[in-house]
Amino acid sequence: MAWSQSISVILIEPEWEEMRVKIIVLNESKTSTPQINVERRCAVTPASVQRLCKKGVEVNIEAGSGELSHYLDNEYEDAGATIINDVNDALSSADMLVSVNKPSEAQLSVMKKGAIVVGHLDPFFQQPLIESIAEKALTAISVEMIPRSSRAQKMDALSSQASLAGYVMVMQAANQLPSILPMMMTPSGTIKPAKVFIIGAGVAGLQAIATAKRLGANVLAYDTRAVVAEQVESLGGKFLKIDIGETGQTKDGYAKELTEEQKAKQQEAQRDAIANSDIVITTAQLFGRKPPVLISKDTLALMKPGSVVVDMAATSGGNVEGSVAGETVEINGVKVIGNGNWSQFVAKAATDMYANNIYNLVDEFLDEESKTFALNLEDDILAGCVIAHEGKITNEMLLNAYKGA
């Protein structure tokens, strides 16, 4: 009798791990600098983590990253993130490192070739760091370089943080002023509203105007770009007109640098406005260049004792002679605030806004089929903000700046 035996073979296929973009988020409160002190912001929120995970992104967050912006590790875990303690081990396999500020050389050194670094990299003033990123064959996305276009607005971290800075500067000035901002009429008499003069009507300046006006101050503002006068007036401020000849703005909406003669005319014309003000806030910054000095010590001496000046640009060179980065100093009886890193004073709001900027950036360029971040340098947004790629610095403006052009 013949026996036939059938054998069923069950093939057990190996489990392939689904390809996913792996993002690492740093705990930046563990490091500090004289100008920044302790960083209170984080690059993601539980809400943005949840949205990233739904897109198929793997999010790894260094323990304690969100504590100073009032987001706890368990909230990130509940949203789908993995909390890690050994960030260096995680960085070695990361596809993208996302931070608020620039990462350290030690962190960059363990990253794999082709990985992407995203953050405020301060590229015009951090040439050695950017060159090091290029040498390591990493890709650098500097959020400061995201163009100011309609399509890029949702990713524009520079503007979101500057808007908060405008609010914070007014609040800090009000806290230092030995009087109040609004008019107050009482049986004991009437207190006149404070006079606030804001120099520079960009994103930060306009928010400062709006905030000071809401607090009841009389607000005067000046900008070299006459085109912004209507915006100033729409917020309830008055626009100071100074004829210094042709000025204008760049294609991205930034003020152009003035000639020495124009600077002298501007300072002379502003002197009376500064002398008559209780609070002066300077927000003049030139993209990629050292900011102009707008207020001299001689002009400060014209202000009333107890007046307050806020120098938004103190950490990058300063608009006010004598301002000190990261400090409040007194010059001729006038308090000059140069704290810098303004948005971290409202860390939760700043984290919320920055995390949205980062999510929108990743979402815009995430290829959901290949599960990769699509680095198409022909795209107008990436062409602006990708500053290093495949072993070289790719941004022409940056290369010219490094050459001294």
Is 80 exceeded by the pLDDT of residue 249? no
Residue range 119-129: mean pLDDT, rounded: 94
Which pLDDT score is estimated for 269? 81
Catalytic residue of the set 126, 231, 254, 289: 254
Catalytic residue of the set 153, 179, 231, 296: 153
Catalytic residue of the set 156, 223, 278, 311: 156
Residue range 54-58: mean pLDDT, rounded: 95
Cβ atoms of 72 and 46 within 8 Å: the answer is no
Residue range 375-386: mean pLDDT, rounded: 94
d(CA 334, CA 321): 12
Of all residues in the chain, what percent carry a pLDDT higher than 90? Answer: 78
d(CA 320, CA 291): 10
H or E stretch covering 148: none
Of all residues in the chain, what percent carry a pLDDT higher than 70? Answer: 90
Give, in degrees to the nearest 5, the angle at Cα 248 between 338 and 280. 25
Catalytic residue of the set 20, 132, 148, 363: 148
**283 alpha carbon, distance to own chain's centre:** 14
pLDDT digits (tens, 9 = 90+) for 381-400: 999 999 999 999 999 999 99
Q: How confident is the model at residue 97 (pLDDT cuts 50, 70, 90)?
A: very high
Which pLDDT score is estimated for 38? 86
| Single-letter code of the amino acid located at 169 | M
Q: How confident is the model at residue 368 (pLDDT cuts 50, 70, 90)?
A: confident
Largest CA distance in the chain: 121
Kindly list the distances between the CA atom of residue 330 and the CA atoms of 37, 300, 307, 336, in Å, as whole numbers in the listed order.
Answer: 21, 10, 10, 6
Which pLDDT score is estimated for 267? 77
Is 50 exceeded by the pLDDT of residue 45? yes
Best CA proximity match to 162, nearest among 350, 405, 347, 396: 350
231 is annotated as an active-site residue: no
Which pLDDT score is estimated for 277? 98
Q: How confident is the model at residue 404 (pLDDT cuts 50, 70, 90)?
A: confident
156 is annotated as an active-site residue: yes
- Same CATH topology for 22-155+346-395 and 165-345? yes
H or E stretch covering 382: helix 380-385
pLDDT digits (tens, 9 = 90+) for 144-189: 999 989 999 999 999 999 999 999 999 999 999 999 999 999 999 9
Residue 115: strand, helix, or coil: coil
Q: How confident is the model at residue 53 (pLDDT cuts 50, 70, 90)?
A: very high
User: Average per-residue pLDDT in the chain?
Assistant: 90
d(CA 128, CA 132): 6
Here the tokens at position 358 are 């980062």
Catalytic residue of the set 99, 159, 160, 343: 159
Query: For 22-155+346-395, CATH number?
Result: 3.40.50.720
Q: How confident is the model at residue 6 (pLDDT cuts 50, 70, 90)?
A: very low
For 165-345, give the CATH class.
Answer: alpha beta
H or E stretch covering 91: helix 87-91
For 189, other C-beta atoms within 10 Å of its C-beta total: 7
Q: What is the 3-state secondary structure (H, E, C) of 184-237?
A: EEECCEEECCCEEEEECCCHHHHHHHHHHHHCCCEEEEECCCHHHHHHHHHCCC
Residue 297: strand, helix, or coil: helix
pLDDT digits (tens, 9 = 90+) for 302-330: 999 999 999 999 998 999 999 999 999 99
**Considering the entire predicted model, what is its pTM?**
0.88
Domain boundaries, the chain: 22-155+346-395, 165-345
